[in-house]
Amino acid sequence: MSSKDPLLDVSGLTKHFPIKGGFPIRRTVGAVQAVDGLDFSITEGESLGLVGESGCGKSTTGRLITRLLEPTAGTISYRGQDITHATRKQLAPVRSEIQMIFQDPYASLNPRQTVGKIITAPMEINDINPAGGREARVRELLETVGLNPEHYNRFPHEFSGGQRQRIGVARALALEPKLIVADEPVSALDVSIQAQVVNLLQKLQKELGIAFLFIAHDLAVVRHFSQRVAVMYLGRIVEIADREDLYGNPRHPYTRALLSAVPETTADDTPARERIRLAGDVPSPVDPPSGCRFRTRCWKATDKCASEAPPLVRVEGSREGHLTACHHPEDTRAVPAVPKARDAASGPKLGKKTTEDPGAGA
């Protein structure tokens, strides 16, 4: 963890969606425990990756932070200010600083509006008038995201998927945000385009100092992007660590399983790993397993795992800031075939060739 004050601090964040049923009177008969007690923080300019299988609560987390959803419990503070239940009016100054980029660049842009109009909208809504005028600012933003400023009057359908996602990025940048929640921003894009969009976001993070919560369903994408990574399973964080620690010494069995599925072509400094195939499906968040939620799929589960939920703590042998929620953590360092992840720039590449070049620009 950085010693800097957090930009965003989330504590005990919970979202349970009520399930209505019954006849003739409809009442709450249960709840989807989509997000169940998350603790994490993001410092200024930092990128935190949030990873987990589909349905584990990533988008719900993103929507809670951007206050598109009301939390069931827990607190969200931004720059030390509690915004958990802030009203629209109270949120106004903060809202412009926290922006979201959505997964589907097709569904998230109004097809009847020109690109210029789409990117201008946040400035209009927030009554922001940049020095050189809004149109000049939009052209500048188009250039920033690698689009032709002359395409100001074009409509979304005239662009490819990757270009549309760039439009979404330009819109998110219009209010000079401090934090962007990017919800699987490249999942809907062609694999060949994904690296280009990730590179763009990386450039923005570095050059504009924008912090990111970067949501992804596998560990390959965030590897190039996030200094810290949190792994989620069924509404809870099971492991959180600096990138080097998480990839080099995963302590939670689920993290290890996810890592074993990372295609080695995208992780050039990852040694060969044995592929771990998880048995069964993700259980329903309506009725999650007792104790450790991962126990129905874990090859190490014991009675303790069924009766006690493991707390998210620093386990023996982990470095500071590396937290794991497991009663019987892995220790991959004990296996000589799995050396510690190194700085990608140093040392030999272990004979693995990358096909994806994160340095290849748009």
Ligand X SMILES: Nc1ncnc2c1ncn2[C@@H]1O[C@H](COP(=O)(O)OP(=O)(O)O)[C@@H](O)[C@H]1O
Q: Residue 352 — left, alpha, or beta (φ > 0 → left; ψ -120 to 50 → alpha)?
A: beta
* In the complex, least distance from residue 135 CB atom to ligand X, rounded to whole angstroms: 36
User: Looking at the chain, which runs of residues are DSSP E strands?
Assistant: 6-21, 27-43, 47-51, 73-78, 81-82, 98-101, 179-183, 211-216, 228-233, 236-242, 323-324
Residue 60's binding partner, choosing from ligand X, Mg ion, ligand SF4, none, with beta-carbon cut-off 5 to 8 A by kind?
A: ligand X
As measured in angstroms, the least distance from the Cβ of 227 to ligand SF4 is 25
Question: Does 59 contact Mg ion by CB under 5 A?
Answer: yes
Closest distance to ligand X from the beta carbon of 23 (Å): 20
CB of 38 to ligand SF4, least distance (A): 17
Show contacts with ligand SF4 in window 67-106 (CB under 6 A).
none
For residue 273, count other CB atoms closer than 10 A to its CB. 18
Distances (CA, A) of 307 to 114, 130, 275, 279: 56, 58, 29, 21
DSSP structure class, residue 281: P
Interface with ligand X (CB under 6 A):
17, 32, 34, 52, 54-60, 285
Task: Return the residue of 105, 253, 285, 288 that touches ligand SF4, per CB under 6 A.
Answer: 253
Dist. CA 201–CA 180, nearest whole Å = 10
301 binds ligand SF4 (CB under 6 A): yes
Q: How far is CA 132 from the centre of its chain?
A: 34
Under 8 Å between Cβ of 282 and 53: yes
Q: Which strands make up the sheet holding 27-43, listed edge to edge?
A: 27-43, 6-21, 73-78, 81-82
Cβ(190)–Cβ(108) below 8 Å: no
* Contact flag: residue 60 with Mg ion (CB under 5 A): no
In angstroms, give the least distance from the CB of 33 to ligand X.
Answer: 8
CB of 311 to ligand SF4, least distance (A): 10
CA distance 225 to 205: 9
283 interacts with ligand SF4 by CB under 6 A: no
Binding to ligand SF4 (CB under 6 A) within 317-346 occurs at: 326-328
Residue count at the site for ligand SF4 (CB under 6 A)?
13
295 binds ligand SF4 (CB under 6 A): yes
**Partner from ligand SF4, ligand X, Mg ion, none contacting 57, C-beta within 5 to 8 A by type:** ligand X
**In the complex, which residues of this chain contact ligand SF4 (CB under 6 A)?**
252-253, 292, 294-295, 298, 300-301, 305, 310, 326-328
